[in-house]
């Protein structure tokens, strides 16, 4: 159990980025949470996010040349070993932040798929890099670069590009994604198309390259570990228009920030994957049980506690995406039982709860969160 920080404190933003632009398009309040260090420093347990970070880190190590000296025969083994080491680091981080035991990584959703896809892609890139070194005879500025930082437009637009590849025709920008990047096309059709948010991100990256390098990339590529490689058709005019829209959105946010009040945009879709739901009065006050969310997030006052194993408490739910009535929360971790013994009728919120089979009760999971609100 943790005390919910006060706030978020509303501060103007100096700049935006391809990622932040998408966040602003969905909800200004989420950006306010992320801009307040009392909230941004909180680690929310998410195996999905961690697997994405692991995949991204593996690609970064490959691009930095960490596997340049590994023979072709040992390359797959070395990359698999690196993956397992990165996973273990995430497990240690999880264990410091959660109230229950972290499950074995092999039990994480889509773990095997992400591992196979990430290691396969990393091996391919490492092999291509080694062939490039052999061709050049020595390291060269023409080698690919990773994690390239750019800023432009008076410092109002910043971004870190995953991978830049140089060809005889010009620069290619590659952005790695660990999840799905495609959506269904026109209604009734069987085609799929790239999610608009990812296309906007790449257009902003292209503009940053042009701003800093004086040339437009010849190719923009989204490399999904699940959906494969997808090239984005674009024009400089489209890229510049996307920049204008992003900077306008930044100005609109700062106009609201100047009033010391940021409006949230709670909705079933906008809030589905937001990590701040259990801390957000906008979500808790507007959501209801009809909102299709991956788990239950609720707020209410503790009515009673039963702290002998198996411990549970009864919460009078007043907000969130579940029934507005007293509900038993089962599986309370032993770590927070001493705290509950000292408190009664306190306001708390909980995230990542799962309904128990065949009952209306909710169950505390290993990655559930528990927040005490100061009245």
For the stretch 310-363, pLDDT in tens is 888 999 999 999 999 999 999 988 878 777 777 778 899 999 999 987 778 999
Phi (first) and psi of residue 222, to 5 degrees: -100, 125
C-alpha separations of 320 from 5, 80, 297, 343 in Å: 19, 41, 5, 22
Q: What CA–CA distance (Å, rounded) separates 298 from 279?
A: 10
28-66: b or e for each residue (b if 16 or more CB lie within 10 Å)?
bbbbbbebbeebeebebbebeebbbbbbbbbbbbbbebe
Phi (first) and psi of residue 136, to 5 degrees: -80, -25
- The answer for residues whose C-beta is within 8 angstroms of residue 175's C-beta and 6 or more apart is 161, 162, 163, 198, 201, 202, 205, 221, 222, 223
Residue pair 335/283 in contact (Cβ under 8 Å)? The answer is: no
Question: Which has the closest alpha carbon to 27: 298, 268, 290?
Answer: 268
Residue pair 144/129 in contact (Cβ under 8 Å)? The answer is: yes
Taken in order of first residue, the domains within the chain and their CATH numbers are: 10-245 (3.90.320), 268-372 (2.40.50)
Q: What CA–CA distance (Å, rounded) separates 118 from 224?
A: 10
Angle at 207 between CA 168 and CA 59, to 5 degrees: 65
The 3-state secondary structure of 144-199 reads: CEEEEEEEECCCCEEEEEEEEEECCCCEEEEEEECCCCEEECCCCCCCEEECHHHH
Residue pair 143/126 in contact (Cβ under 8 Å)? The answer is: no
Site of tokens 């970070």: 53
- The answer for residues whose C-beta is within 8 angstroms of residue 338's C-beta and 6 or more apart is none
Strands 219-224 and 2-3: unpaired
- pLDDT for res 140: 46
- pLDDT for res 16: 98
Q: What CA–CA distance (Å, rounded) separates 156 from 209?
A: 14
For the stretch 263-301, pLDDT in tens is 899 999 999 999 999 999 999 999 999 999 999 999 999
- pLDDT for res 138: 43
Q: pLDDT by residue for the chain (375 residues), tens digit each?
A: 688 999 999 999 999 999 999 999 999 999 999 999 999 988 888 898 899 899 989 988 987 889 988 998 999 999 999 999 999 999 988 888 787 888 999 999 989 999 999 999 889 888 877 776 655 444 444 667 878 999 999 999 999 998 888 888 889 999 988 788 887 665 555 667 888 999 999 999 999 999 999 999 999 999 887 888 889 999 999 999 999 999 999 999 999 999 998 989 999 999 999 999 999 999 999 999 999 999 999 999 999 888 888 888 999 999 999 999 999 999 988 878 777 777 778 899 999 999 987 778 999 999 999 999 986
Q: What CA–CA distance (Å, rounded) separates 76 from 60?
A: 16
């Amino acid at each position: 159990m943790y005390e919910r920080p006060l706030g978020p404190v509303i501060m103007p933003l100096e700049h935006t980025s391809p990622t932040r632009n998408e966040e602003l398009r969905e909800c200004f309040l989420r950006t306010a949470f992320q801009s307040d260090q009392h909230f941004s420093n909180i680690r929310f347990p998410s195996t999905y996010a961690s697997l994405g970070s692991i995949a991204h880190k593996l690609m970064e190590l490959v691009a930095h040349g960490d596997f340049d000296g590994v023979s072709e025969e040992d390359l797959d083994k070395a990359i698999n070993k690196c993956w397992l080491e990165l996973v273990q680091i995430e497990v240690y981080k999880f264990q410091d932040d959660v109230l229950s035991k972290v499950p074995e990584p092999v039990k994480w959703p889509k773990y095997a798929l992400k591992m196979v896809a990430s290691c396969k892609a990393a091996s391919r890139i490492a092999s291509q890099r080694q062939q490039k070194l052999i061709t050049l005879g020595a390291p060269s500025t023409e080698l690919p670069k990773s994690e390239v930082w750019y800023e432009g437009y008076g410092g109002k637009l910043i971004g870190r590009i995953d991978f830049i590849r140089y060809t005889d025709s010009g620069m290619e920008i590659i952005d790695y994604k660990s999840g799905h990047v495609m959506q269904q096309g026109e209604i009734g059709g069987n085609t799929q198309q790239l999610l608009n948010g990812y296309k906007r991100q790449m257009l902003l990256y292209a503009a940053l390259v042009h701003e800093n390098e004086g040339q437009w990339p010849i190719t923009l590529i989204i490399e999904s570990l699940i959906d494969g490689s997808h090239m984005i058709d674009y024009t400089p005019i489209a890229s510049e228009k996307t920049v204008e829209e992003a900077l306008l959105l930044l100005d609109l946010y700062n106009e609201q920030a100047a009033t010391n009040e940021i409006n949230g945009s709670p909705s079933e879709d906008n809030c589905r994957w937001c990590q701040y739901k259990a801390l957000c009065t906008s979500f808790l006050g507007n959501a209801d049980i009809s909102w299709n969310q991956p788990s239950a997030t609720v707020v209410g006052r503790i009515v009673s506690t039963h702290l002998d194993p198996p411990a549970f408490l009864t919460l009078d739910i007043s907000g969130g995406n579940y029934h507005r009535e007293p509900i038993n929360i089962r599986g309370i971790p032993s770590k927070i039982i001493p705290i509950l013994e000292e408190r009664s009728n306190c306001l708390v919120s909980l995230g990542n709860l799962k309904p128990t089979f065949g009952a209306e009760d909710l169950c505390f999971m290993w990655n559930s969160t528990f927040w005490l609100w100061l009245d």
